[in-house]
């Protein structure tokens, strides 16, 4: 056991049971951890990035090239490494895309900061320089590179979705899925309390059904539930649906545990059994009495009551997940009831609790039955994904989620930027020029920040098996020319130039339709900078040794 003694003065001694690492050594360790994590995900960056296969301790396999998914499945022990994992998770939550890029940039910033610190530049000066560089870069992107999207320009939205999907498993079916992404997001438009339009990605339901090829995936304007009706005797289609959403069992009432009933007469026992059935029968009658013809439940239902529903011409779907039921209740205007008891203790079911939809229908895809609710009060959208196996469907869902997020962010923020490394290279050129105007030592940190940004286009070209030195230097020359004060008019479009990784050349990515949400890039830079600074601030790592459980002297 390592122990440390720190003498404040001759007579007071501080004792710590554990290990302490300080100064340059802890910084070096943190940088190693960050770079190790970036090395895991960096080969999965871009449209030609490779996939990773993760196998957990019980043998479950995940195949993905989504940065946040890969890092979530890694068991990271190092505290600095955990910060990067959290960073990718946050980027995934807020923007949906750019999870791999944010980790690569953060690790590159740390590596360069460590070199500066080893050359006797104080960490505080490095942090100030990084913050300044990040602020200037974000301002530059917003003012000079962002292309405003006025209204709903479908072509731009589809291009944004296509760009996001190009680096995923759905890249080969980009045209189909970019259309599905845009339709799904536009269908769930709502407004917040300020009247500003919102496009919540969580409102788009995604169902995964094995069988058929990915090209047979489709978008439904309504809610799709991956469950069949309780009975095959129920009618397949209900029009003018009145929907009850319940979160309790429709099964025979059973006495609570610990309740004893002493019965002398055997006939009385039969009466008790009959009453147990009748209590729930009365509940079902009350639900049907207000005109209910569709019951959606998170729990089960007994056959006795299923027969009642069939006779009444109603349909029922059970064992729906609570999250899905909440979505349907919100869309159809229903109230989810956990009990029929009102405040007075009487059992009632009021018609105001019902939701409405034009049709509820059971359809069959391959060997599986789905129930589809269409024509609800609020617009709704569901995507049915088809694929060969579970691994493929899971990865398709992650890819579609990223595309939905990207389209949603563009609609909410109203600006896009060219992709293919053009933003990073343009910011690199701008920051290098900006650094030369600084007379303080922050100049060194700003220049290193600028260099760190080039790690993205370099990695993109390396992953595409192209010559990174040649392409990146040529791209820098284009952007440098576009930023000159006396830039010729024909050079103005050079700022939209980026990498074409399929052919290994440079092209105008604005015209080519390679577009990304501007918010994605700005958030990426801000998050990476904050994470790098958080790790850079650490100059002491104290690891306490866990206490050993005390042995009981009387134990044998």
Block residue for tokens 């995900």: 41
User: Which element (helix H / strand E) includes 191?
Assistant: strand 190-191
218's CB contacts (< 8 A; 6+ apart) are 180, 383, 384
Catalytic choice (92, 97, 394, 402): 402
Catalytic choice (69, 92, 97, 100): 100
DSSP state of 208: E
100 catalytic, yes or no? yes
402 catalytic, yes or no? yes
165 closest CA partner among 506, 507, 380, 419: 419
**Rounded CA separation 220/33 (Å):** 45
E runs forming strands in 470-524: 497-500, 505-508, 515-517
Catalytic choice (69, 99, 332, 461): 99
543 catalytic, yes or no? no
Block residue for tokens 């439904």: 220
**Rounded CA separation 478/323 (Å):** 50
Kindly report each contact of residues 15-19 with a partner whose C-beta sits within 8 Å and lies 24 or more positions away, as own/partner. 16/542, 16/544, 17/544, 17/545, 18/542, 18/543, 18/544, 18/545, 19/542, 19/543, 19/545
Catalytic choice (62, 66, 292, 298): 66
DSSP state of 537: T
Q: Read off φ and ψ for residue 223, nearest 5 degrees.
A: -100, 130
- Residues forming beta bridges with residue 355, ordered by sequence position: 243
**Rounded CA separation 419/160 (Å):** 9
309 closest CA partner among 289, 324, 334: 289
How does DSSP assign 80-101, residue by residue? HHHHHHHHHHHHHHHTSS-HHH
Residue 551's CB is within 10 A of a number of other CB atoms, namely 7
**Are the beta carbons of 340 and 348 closer than 8 angstroms?**
yes
CA distances from 389 to 63, 181, 281, 398 (A): 12, 22, 42, 15
**Rounded CA separation 465/269 (Å):** 80
108 closest CA partner among 459, 467, 473, 422: 459
**Rounded CA separation 121/107 (Å):** 19
205 closest CA partner among 374, 91, 390: 374
**Catalytic site positions:** 66, 99-100, 402
């Amino acid at each position: 056991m390592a122990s440390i003694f720190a003498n404040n003065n001759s007579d007071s001694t501080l004792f710590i049971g554990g290990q302490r690492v300080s100064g340059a050594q802890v910084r070096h360790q943190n940088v190693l951890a960050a770079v190790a994590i970036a090395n895991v995900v960096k080969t999965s960056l871009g449209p030609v990035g490779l996939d990773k296969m993760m196998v957990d301790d019980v043998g479950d396999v995940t195949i993905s090239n989504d940065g946040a998914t890969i890092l979530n499945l890694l068991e990271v022990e190092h505290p600095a490494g955990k910060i990067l994992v959290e960073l990718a998770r946050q980027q995934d939550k807020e923007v949906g895309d750019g999870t791999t890029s944010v980790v690569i940039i953060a690790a590159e910033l740390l590596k360069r900061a460590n070199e500066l610190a080893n050359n006797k530049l104080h960490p505080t000066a490095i942090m100030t320089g990084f913050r300044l560089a990040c602020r200037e870069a974000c301002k530059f992107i917003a003012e000079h590179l962002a292309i405003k999207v006025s209204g709903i320009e479908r072509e731009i939205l589809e291009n944004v979705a296509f760009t996001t999907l190009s680096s995923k498993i759905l890249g080969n079916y980009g045209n189909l899925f970019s259309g599905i992404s845009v339709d799904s997001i536009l269908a769930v438009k709502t407004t917040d309390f300020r009247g500003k339009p919102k496009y919540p990605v969580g409102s788009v339901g995604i169902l995964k059904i094995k069988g058929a090829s990915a090209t047979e995936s489709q978008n439904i304007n309504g809610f799709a539930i991956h469950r069949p009706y309780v009975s095959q005797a129920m009618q397949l289609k209900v029009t003018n649906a009145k929907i009850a959403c319940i979160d309790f069992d429709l099964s025979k009432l059973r006495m609570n545990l610990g309740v004893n009933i002493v019965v002398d007469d055997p006939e009385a026992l039969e009466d008790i059994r009959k009453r147990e059935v009748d209590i729930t029968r009365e509940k079902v009658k009350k639900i049907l009495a207000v005109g209910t013809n569709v019951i959606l439940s998170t729990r089960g239902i007994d056959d006795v009551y299923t027969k009642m529903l069939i006779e009444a011409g109603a349909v029922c779907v059970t064992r729906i997940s609570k999250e899905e039921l909440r979505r349907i209740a919100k869309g159809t205007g229903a109230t989810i009831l956990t009990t029929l008891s009102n405040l007075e203790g009487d059992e009632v079911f009021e018609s105001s609790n019902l939701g409405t939809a034009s049709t509820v229908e059971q359809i069959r895809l391959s060997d599986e039955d789905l129930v589809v609710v269409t024509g609800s009060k609020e617009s709704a959208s569901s995507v049915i994904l088809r694929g060969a196996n579970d691994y493929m469907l899971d990865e398709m869902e992650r890819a579609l989620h990223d595309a939905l997020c990207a389209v949603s962010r563009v609609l909410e923020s109203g600006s896009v930027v060219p992709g293919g490394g053009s933003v990073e290279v343009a910011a690199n050129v701008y920051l290098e020029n900006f650094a030369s105007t600084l007379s303080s030592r922050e100049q060194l940190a700003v220049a290193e920040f600028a260099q760190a940004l080039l790690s993205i286009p370099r990695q993109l070209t390396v992953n595409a098996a192209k010559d990174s030195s040649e392409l990146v230097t040529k791209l820098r020359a284009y952007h440098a020319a576009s930023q000159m004060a006396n830039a010729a008019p024909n050079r103005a479009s050079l700022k939209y130039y980026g990498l074409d990784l399929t052919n290994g050349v440079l092209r105008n990515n604005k015209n080519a339709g390679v577009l990304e949400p501007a918010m994605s890039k700005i958030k990426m830079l801000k998050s990476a900078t904050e994470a790098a600074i958080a790790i850079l601030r650490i100059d002491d790592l104290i690891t306490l040794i866990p206490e050993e459980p005390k042995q009981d002297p009387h134990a044998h």
